Amino acid sequence: MTLDAHAEKLSFQAEVKQLLHIVVHSLYSNKEIFLRELVSNASDAIDKLRFEALSDPALYEKDSELKIRVSFDADARTITVSDNGIGLTREEAVENLGTIAKSGTREFLSRLTGDQKKDAHLIGQFGVGFYSAFIVADRVTVNSRRAGLGAEHGVSWESAGDGEYTVANIQKATRGTDVILHLKESETDFLNDWRLRNIIAKYSDHLNVPILMQKRTDDGKPTEEWETVNRATALWALPKSQIKPEEYKEFYKYVSHDFEDPLAWTHNKIEGGNLDYTSLLYIPAHAPFDMWSRDKHYGLKLYVQRVFIMDQVEQFLPMYLRFVKGVLDTTALPLNVSREILQDHYTIPKLRSALTRHVLDLLDKIAAEEPEKYASFWKEFGNVLKEGPAEDYTNRARVANLLRFTSTHSEGDGQHVTLQDYVKRMKPEQKKIYYLTAENIHAAGSSPHLEVFRKHGIEVLLLTDRIDEWLTNHLAEFEGKPLQSVAKGELDLAEIAAETPEEKAKEEQKDKELQKEFDGLFKELKASLGERVKEIRLSHRLTSSPACLVREQNAMGPQMERLLKAAGQPVTEVKPILELNPDHLIIKKLQELTEEKQIKEWAFILYDQSLLAEGSPLEDPAAFVKRMNELLIK
């Protein structure tokens, strides 16, 4: 290997410098993961070569025996991980080893606190890959050559992890990559054949590529003979009875680049017909930091007849299950399949349907048998699952069964309720599932819209997540019971108060009399507020508050309106209806006022109070404060 004169010294991307420092200082308690990460990268490089060689067999360069070699030199204090995979060009070495291309990197780094234990947890979600080498090494050398290029196109990358690295062209006769770790003096315990073999067996036994180490003499000296030290069989291809839970967990970490164990997994092998496939699907314990990033790519690793085809294939699961990690191995697709072919291949809908069913089956089982584990899942991924009813009409009912909510029957104990729970508790005369959307649980719980429901003991779901109004727009009913916002449309008192026909007729007559009595006041208030409200009417919702704002049955709710405005989206103006409580002392006092100016002031006070109660911003906060101050003085 000969270095040429074309060498240059470069600086790491700022994020890499920060990440390197954190990796070295936060992951010290789990140092051995460096070998797992480097072997995993080598396996990925071999998978990429297999895929590219499908269309260009010359990339094998007369060496189709794919393998990873792990060796060490105690005298030189080095560990070397070599592969004969796809390799790197000079440009790829700079791009892949000197920068971090992950979306949301800056946001991730800003969340690190300096608490080593907490930071290690976050880094586990982020994935550190190659940079974990600096946990044990004070200098790392990477020699590589891209498959298909001449020996003169080799590249050497080297860094001490101090913010800079050098890149130079080299002669490299073989394709692939050699990662050479120059160990710190304090890490020489890794220069041990038994230790390295045990780490490989622990973390990499499942890889579908042989990992070789040198055989050694009785006195520990290396021989020229190499032997395979891992099982080298695709884990998902083995019978479930032969796989230990720890092996499933380690394979998850390989697939996901997560440091933590998965929450659960489902392993399925389907044979027969034209849809033979094996899938191993995992639910992570925690949501990734960039779950909501628009640039983030999700999906499964796709294998066809045990040959790796591509990563992050999104077509096999709906977006609301994008948190699922794992592999799909099938004979139903051609080996030369591309992302373009995947768009239209006739087997994709069938595979997608089957894999979606496996995930939902797993979630159903956890919810039924391990409610505490399901509560943990819901905390991490509930908002994502709520996208399901809008996206997946076929499984809408199944997804609805998995949803969890807070309600007026559970707000004090912090427990979640299901829609099944709600339906079982419905009053005999109750025909609808009532809900309220709000900014947070405190705003929901104190909303004036709940007053009549609390009075009659009717449960209301309290929806405080941003996606909830979107959810209720697409989940119109459950088990034949329509979902109804308590802040929209007119209420049917006969249903809420369990009135008899006679009582209902009596209430209707009372309403007519009250409407006639307050008609003049309502007209004056409407004239004062102008186009701010569509109309003013008597309220059946209120028992202790003087006023509230409601929307028409099919109108956009205030929470969705605020979200769209915050996102810069155009919003059609929705005029609310101001409802007044005729039994409230303020409304009765208003009826006695004759001065037009006072009535106008009160109109704005009631309107602004109602806006605040629903969580909407005031048009003119200063004017509201002035009116309230004048009122207090009087």
Which pLDDT score, from 0 to 100, does residue 342 have? 80
The DSSP bridge pattern shows strands 547-550 and 577-580 to be: antiparallel
**pLDDT for residue 435:** 96
For residues 513 and 545, what is the distance between their CA atoms, to the nearest angstrom?
21
Position 119, amino acid: D
* Residue (of 287, 477, 484) closest to 382 by Cα position: 287
Average per-residue pLDDT for the chain: 87
Residues 571 and 628 placed together within one structural domain of the fold = yes
Residues 369 and 414 both lie in one domain? no
Distances (CA, A) of 327 to 67, 228, 306, 360: 21, 24, 11, 17
Q: Which CATH number covers residue 618?
A: 3.40.50.11260
470 with 413, same domain: the answer is yes
Which segments within 324-444 are labelled E, that is strand? 325-330, 406-407, 433-437
Task: Give the residue from 10, 187, 13, 44 showing the smallest Cα distance to 129.
Answer: 44
Query: Is 145:172 a contact under the CB 8 Å cutoff?
Result: yes
Q: Which residue segment(s) compose the domain that 282 sits in? A: 236-376
Between CA 473 and CA 437 the distance in angstroms is: 12
Q: Does 51 map to a domain?
A: yes
- Band of pLDDT at residue 532, cut at 50, 70 and 90: very high
- With CA atoms as reference, report the closest residue to 262 among 385, 352, 380: 380
**Cα gap 348→332, rounded to integer Å:** 9
Q: Which helix (H) or strand (E) holds 596?
A: helix 596-613
- Domain end, chosen from 233, 251, 268, is at 233
- CB count within 10 Å of CB 254 equals 21
pLDDT digits (tens, 9 = 90+) for 452-485: 999 999 999 999 998 998 899 999 999 999 999 9
If one counts the domains in the chain, the total is: 3
How many other β-carbons are positioned within 10 Å of the β-carbon of residue 368? Answer: 9
Distance CA 112, CA 625 (A): 41
What's the predicted TM-score (pTM) here?
Answer: 0.74
554 plus 609 within the same structural domain: yes
Reduced 3-state DSSP string for 169-183? EECCCCCEEEEEEEE
pLDDT tens digits for range 153-174: 999 999 988 888 899 999 999 9
Residues 87 and 189 in one domain: yes
Residue 308 pLDDT more than 80? no
| 233, 263, 298 - which closes a domain | 233
Whether residue 510 sits in one domain with residue 473: yes
pLDDT bracket for residue 125 (50, 70, 90): very low
Q: What CA dihedral angle connects 289, 294, 299 and 304, to 10 degrees?
A: -140
What was the pLDDT predicted at 192? Answer: 94
Last residue of a domain, one of 360, 376, 392: 376
Locate tokens 């006072």: which residue? 598
Mean pLDDT, residues 295-311 taken together: 82
**What's residue 429's pLDDT?**
86
Which positions ≥6 away from 361 have C-beta within 8 Å?
266
Q: For 557-605, write each residue's pLDDT tens digit.
A: 877 777 777 777 887 778 999 999 999 999 999 988 888 889 999 999 9
pLDDT tens per residue, range 365-388: 999 999 999 999 999 999 999 999
Q: How confident is the model at residue 33 (pLDDT cuts 50, 70, 90)?
A: confident
Burial call 433-462: b when 16+ CB within 10 Å, e when fewer: bbbbbbeeeebbbebbbbbbbeeeebbbbb
Asked whether residue 214 falls in the same domain as residue 321, the answer is no
**Residue 111: per-residue pLDDT:** 57
Cα separation values, 270 from 104, 216, 300, 624, Å: 38, 43, 17, 66
Over the stretch 67-109, which tens digit does the pLDDT of each residue have?
999 999 999 999 999 999 999 999 999 888 876 644 454 555 5
310 lies in the same domain as 180: no
Same structural domain for residues 267 and 171? no
The CA distances from residue 55 to 43, 104, 335, in Å, are: 20, 34, 10
Q: In what order do the strands lie in the sheet containing 211-216? A: 3-11, 164-170, 154-159, 137-145, 176-183, 78-83, 68-73, 211-216, 222-228
Cα 506 to Cα 183, 246, 494, 511: the distances in Å are 89, 70, 11, 9
